[in-house]
Structure 1
Amino acid sequence: MNIPSMSLKDKVAIVTGSTKGIGKGIAFGLAQAGANVVVVSRHQNDCDRVAAEIAQLGVETLPVAADVTKMKDIENLVNSTLARFGRIDILVNNAGTALTKKAEEITEEDWDRVLDVDLKGVFFCAQAVGKQMIKQKRGKIINIGSILGTVADRQVLPYCVSKGGVAQMTKALALEWAKYNIQVNSLCPGYVITPMNEADLRNEKIASHILRKIPVRRLGEVEDMVGAAIFLASEASNYMTGQSIFVDGGWTAE
């Protein structure tokens, strides 16, 4: 029996939101598995810094500043990647944002900010990269979802809505693009300590509320997400599409 490889040697991976948190961890993990990595965030200096760090692992990197809510930036991201590498094998749709606010206090601006990044941006990045993958007749798209796309929590309503949308988007794209040998899956973290939520998770009251819901009784670390991402990016997941993998310490098992 031939066991599919988890190696990503010489693959080309775009990771949005990859200068901090889960995105940065996944970018490093893909590079450690052999992939060349396109580092993406809104700020060029941050992209340059992280790309230089990843390059020390012996892979090629390309830093590209892009705002995933802007179509011109997405187009430039794809074109820059193709100009450098000639193809795109992997897209990790990680860029995201959130806010903590009571439902009755959410403004239109709040709503648009979260949905534009977490849902609209995810789709149009997938669409732009998907067009190239269709030409290639292969590709891996990993949408970063959340447990809050399946179970809700208080005071994060727009985030819950956006991640629920990502789960359905993942299924719909998987169905449409399966005939092109493109696998589309979602990696759904539980509560992971990142720069985006560290202040909240260090709050004793909030952390206590969250830990009661996690069977393994600890918060996630960025490193906990990397193995699943490598699996979804590799040949080992070739027969898997339209699925959501929950890496959540058992939260959604209850």
Structure 2
Amino acid sequence: MRLEQKVVIVTGGGRGIGAAICQAFANEGAHVVVADINEENAKGVAEKIGGQAMGVALDVRSPDGAAAMAKSVFDKFGRIDVLMNNAGARVIKGLMQHTQEDWQQMLDINLTGPFICSQAVLPQMMNQKSGNIINVASIASFMGRPNRVAYVAAKSGVLGLTRAMAADLSGKNIRVNAIAPGMVASPFNQSFAEAEDTGPAWASENLIGRWGQPEDIAGAAIFLASDESSFINGSEIKVEGGWLAARSRSGEEPIWDE
């Protein structure tokens, strides 16, 4: 098992992609800490995983809450090997409909949250001279998307945060990387995946030709959390079916000679 005995924290682990990552980490032998703003969801996922899995309430916007979470993990397991900054939120509104509250909420949860949680676990990682932080970015980190101005700004910042943290932690044996999901059929995108107009249409837009599943993101997370990725640092893995890599316009379909 690739993560045997490693202690991993997954923020936003109470449902969707986060819950799939928690289960996948546990299947690889990790001791999983499910951290979520919804304590009931966090404990439900931990109970489903079983073993020494631990569910904790966490608002990633709270430095005191993150510090308390990190202490409780260390008190139980004696170390922290992996932090997966997965918690996220999204506001979909027109540019002029975004309020300052919307803007601040997107920055606080999607960008400041990973910063706060990383600061909470880094003292222990530096003490044990090893660690691994994985931030969740987005396809919105690479291109403008309509009606998501604050979300796009925050997720673009996640890539900068990832690279800068990796640079600051150089020589500490602590790696920092990111995963950028595309359209994944999780609760985050459920309304789009199930809608008659966007469901099939959006599935056909990427090179794979289907919606992503939470387990697709979990596979990339396992790789980055494991020693198999030991020479990857300050980088990102796009898990989006090739949506960012290439696409054809109408009438531009690939030509095959039989």
**Deviation sequence 1:45-104 (CA, Å, 0-9, x none):** 22221111011xxx4111110101111110111010011001100000000000111111
Write the distance in 1 (CA, Å) between the matches of 2:227 and 2:94: 43
Write the distance in 2 (CA, Å) between the matches of 1:194 and 1:138: 32
Write the distance in 2 (CA, Å) between the matches of 1:27 and 1:133: 20
TM-aligned CA deviation for residue 200 of structure 1: 2.5
Structure 2 gap ranges (5+)? 247-258
Q: Which moved more, 1:235-244 or 1:193-202?
A: 193-202
1:27 paired residue number: 22
**Deviation sequence 1:207-251 (CA, Å, 0-9, x none):** 355335312121111111111110100011111100010010001
Give the % identical residues. 39
TM-aligned CA deviation for residue 33 of structure 1: 0.4
1:7 paired residue number: 2
Write the distance in 1 (CA, Å) between the matches of 2:203 and 2:189: 15
TM-aligned CA deviation for residue 203 of structure 1: 2.0
1:3 paired residue number: none
Give runs of aligned pairs for residues 97-112 of structure 1, distance below 5 A.
97-112=89-104
Contact 2:204 / 2:210 at 8 angstroms: preserved in 1?
A: no
Amino acid across the alignment from 1:82: F
TM-aligned CA deviation for residue 253 of structure 1: 0.8
Write the distance in 1 (CA, Å) between the matches of 2:200 and 2:222: 31
2:166 paired residue number: 174
Write the distance in 1 (CA, Å) between the matches of 2:53 and 2:150: 34
1:80 paired residue number: 72
Structure 1 gap ranges (5+)? 1-5
1:54 paired residue number: 49
1:153 is matched with which residue: 141, 145, 159?
A: 145
Write the distance in 1 (CA, Å) between the matches of 2:58 and 2:46: 14
2:193 paired residue number: 201
Write the distance in 2 (CA, Å) between the matches of 1:208 and 1:156: 22
